[in-house]
Chain A
Amino acid sequence: MARFAALSQQLVDRDVTEQTPTPGWLDGLLDTVAQEVRAGRDLPYAEGLVVTEGAVRTLVREAGDGVPGALVGRTRIRDLDGAPRIEIELSVLGDRPLVAVADRVREVVAAALRRHTPSPRPPST
Chain B
Amino acid sequence: MSSIEQATDGLLARRAADGDGVAFGVLVRRHAPFWRAFATRLLRSAGDAEDCVQESLITAWEQLPKLQEPDKVRAWVTTIVSRKATDRIRSRRFTDPIDDLEVPAKGLDPERAAVQRSQLDALGAVLAALPEEQRTIWLLREVAGESYDDIAAHLGVPVDTVRGRLARARRTVIDRMKDWR
Contact = CB atoms under 8 A, between A and B. Distances in A.
Tell me, yes or no, whether A binds B. Answer: yes
B164 interface: no
Interface of A: 1, 4-5, 7-16, 18-22, 25-26, 28-30, 32-34, 36-40, 54, 57-58, 61, 65-75, 89, 91, 93
B interface residue count range (under 10 / 10 to 19 / 20 to 34 / 35 or more): 35 or more
B101 interface: no
B158 to A, nearest CB: 22
Interface string B111-152: 000000001100110010000000000110111000000000
Interface of B: 1-2, 4, 6-8, 11, 14-15, 17-21, 24-25, 28-29, 32-34, 36-38, 40-41, 46-47, 50, 53-54, 57-58, 61-62, 103-106, 108, 119-120, 123-124, 127, 138-139, 141-143, 170, 173-174, 177
11 contacts: A4-B142, A7-B123, A18-B108, A19-B37, A19-B106, A22-B47, A25-B54, A33-B58, A58-B19, A66-B1, A91-B8
B20 A33 contact: no
Nearest to B32: A26
A30 B26 CA distance: 10
Contacts of B141: 5
